[in-house]
């Protein structure tokens, strides 16, 4: 399995990376799932940068696809506000999953037995491109491709917090993207809701979301085997870090930056909320 990692210094240059990722992986998708946790400045490292979403939509159209942008977000109108503020409805159909009809689906996981998901997400299920942020999370340690699936769920999804690592893997068995493109040009450290921006200047792409997240975590200075949901994913899908072929120039060791959780985030982790 391949993961492409490149230094990309500006969102103005991201189109070239998308072109190379499409050429290598030749993805087929109908839906694009960014991380629009809340309406925020794209420069703060909290949300997927809209210029990246634009570049993906433009590239998809060149491949004959007409993608639909789908997202929920933390608040009921998070995605809606992002769609409007960043002019995304001008380039593609946009669906606020939090305002969608919800249906109960059987997950039959070890910890997650059933869950309410947006009806549109069932259409997206096996033909979506996920565009997470390179960012920390107080419970999951990192919020990358695997955790980006939580945007499909009915909110509030606080029930996911207890035993979150296993639940994320249960959810991954149901939702698997055809391509993962991680936005790390501006990353987010300290916390997921109010991150401190990190000028990381890196982009990651893979047609295997577990492999993408392994390398994403490594680039954040974490050992993937010490992040529980990544360890569970490697066990569940029989993937080891040594199985991942990283295509990178320069080598990823030169692209690593140290991310960490703030004191308040660590306190929330201890409280399990």
Single out the residue of 136, 120, 104, 10 nearest to residue 67, CA to CA.
Answer: 120
Percent of the chain topping pLDDT 90: 93
Confidence of residue 220 (pLDDT cuts 50, 70, 90): very high
Q: What's the rounded mean pLDDT across residues 195-199?
A: 98
DSSP H stretches of helix in 43-154: 50-62, 78-85, 119-124
Q: Flag whether pLDDT at 203 surpasses 90.
A: yes
Tell me, what's the pLDDT at 148? 98
Tell me if 143 sits within 8 A of 180, measured CB to CB: no
| Token pair belonging to 49 | 């940068």
β-bridge partners, 71: 96
Tell me if 43 sits within 8 A of 242, measured CB to CB: no
Q: For 100-135, give one letter per residue: b (16+ CB within 10 A) or e.
A: bebeeeebebebbeebebbebbeebbeebbbbbbbb
pLDDT tens string 171-191 = 999 999 999 999 999 999 999
| Token pair belonging to 209 | 């979301």
What CATH number is attached to the domain comprising 204? Answer: 3.40.50
Measured between alpha carbons, how far is residue 37 from residues 98, 155, 182, 264 in Å?
A: 12, 12, 15, 19
Q: Flag whether pLDDT at 271 surpasses 80.
A: no
| CA distance linking residue 152 with residue 120, whole number of Å | 9
Q: What angle do CA 225, 229, 235 make, to 5 degrees?
A: 65
Percent of the chain topping pLDDT 70: 100
Q: Flag whether pLDDT at 28 surpasses 80.
A: yes
Tell me, what's the pLDDT at 229? 98
| CA distance linking residue 132 with residue 146, whole number of Å | 9
Q: Quote the number of domains for the chain.
A: 1
User: DSSP per residue over 168-183, as a string?
Assistant: HHHHHTT---SEEEEE
Tell me, what's the pLDDT at 158? 86
Q: How do 133-137 and 2-7 pair as beta strands?
A: unpaired
CA 20 to chain CA centroid, Å, is: 19
Tell me if 265 sits within 8 A of 21, measured CB to CB: no
Tell me, what's the pLDDT at 86? 98
Q: What's the rounded mean pLDDT across residues 238-256?
A: 94
Measured between alpha carbons, how far is residue 126 from residues 195, 258, 270 in Å?
A: 31, 33, 35
What are the residues whose beta carbons fall under 8 Å from the beta carbon of 70, sequence distance 6 or more?
31, 32, 33, 94, 95, 97, 118, 120, 121, 124, 128, 151
| CA distance linking residue 67 with residue 92, whole number of Å | 7
Tell me, what's the pLDDT at 263? 87
| CA distance linking residue 230 with residue 213, whole number of Å | 8
**Residue 257 domain boundaries:** 2-271
Confidence of residue 267 (pLDDT cuts 50, 70, 90): confident
pLDDT tens string 86-131 = 999 999 999 999 999 999 999 999 999 999 999 999 999 989 999 9
């Amino acid at each position: 399995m391949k993961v492409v990692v490149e230094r990309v210094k500006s969102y103005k240059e991201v189109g070239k990376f998308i072109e190379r990722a499409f050429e290598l992986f030749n993805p087929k998708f109908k839906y694009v799932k960014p991380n629009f946790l809340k309406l925020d400045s794209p420069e703060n490292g909290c949300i997927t940068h809209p210029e990246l979403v634009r570049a993906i939509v433009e590239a998809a159209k060149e491949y004959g696809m007409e993608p639909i942008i789908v997202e929920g977000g933390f608040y009921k109108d998070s995605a809606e506000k992002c769609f409007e503020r960043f002019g995304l409805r001008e380039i593609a159909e946009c669906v606020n999953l939090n305002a969608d009809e919800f249906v109960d689906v059987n997950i039959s996981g070890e910890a997650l037995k059933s869950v309410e998901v947006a009806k549109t997400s069932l259409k997206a299920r096996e033909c979506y491109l996920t565009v997470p942020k390179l960012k920390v999370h107080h419970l999951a340690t990192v919020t990358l491709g695997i955790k980006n699936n939580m945007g499909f769920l009915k909110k509030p999804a606080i029930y996911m917090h207890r035993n979150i690592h296993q639940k994320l893997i249960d959810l991954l068995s149901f939702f698997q993207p055809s391509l993962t493109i991680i936005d790390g040009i501006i990353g987010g450290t300290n916390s997921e809701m109010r991150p401190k921006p990190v000028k990381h200047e890196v982009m990651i792409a893979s047609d295997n979301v577990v492999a993408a997240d392994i390398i994403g975590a490594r680039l954040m200075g974490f050992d993937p085997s010490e992040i529980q949901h990544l360890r569970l994913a490697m066990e569940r899908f029989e993937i080891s870090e040594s199985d991942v072929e990283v295509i990178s120039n320069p080598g990823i060791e030169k692209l690593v930056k140290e991310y960490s959780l703030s004191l308040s985030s660590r306190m929330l982790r201890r409280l399990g909320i």
